[in-house]
Amino acid sequence: MTISHRLREQVRKRASSLCEYCHSSERISSVRFTIDHVHPQSLGGADDFDNLALVECQEQKCG
């Protein structure tokens, strides 16, 4: 399922345009951050507000 533009903007607003893992600011970045699944789709994660995060880094997937 594709994540709608509206849902992407709701996630950005919730995060105050900060990466939800490392807290870098999207406002000072040269690129827009991605919207990523907290619980991966491959493991049953849904395309819903509570399972999406604004992400600049891949810190949450390391270690």
Residues in the chain: 63
Domain of 48 in residue numbering reads as 5-61
The per-residue pLDDT for 59 is 60
User: What are the phi and psi torsion angles at 55 (to 5°)?
Assistant: -130, 130
Question: Average pLDDT of 52-63?
Answer: 74
Model pLDDT for residues 1-44, shown as the tens digit of each residue: 689 999 999 999 999 999 999 999 999 988 899 999 999 999 99
The answer to whether the CB of 35 falls within 8 A of the CB of 55 is: yes
Mapped onto helix, strand or coil, the DSSP state of residue 33 is coil
Q: How many domains does the chain have?
A: 1
CA angle at 30 for the pair 29 and 35, rounded to the nearest 5°: 65
Distance CA 12, CA 42 (A): 23
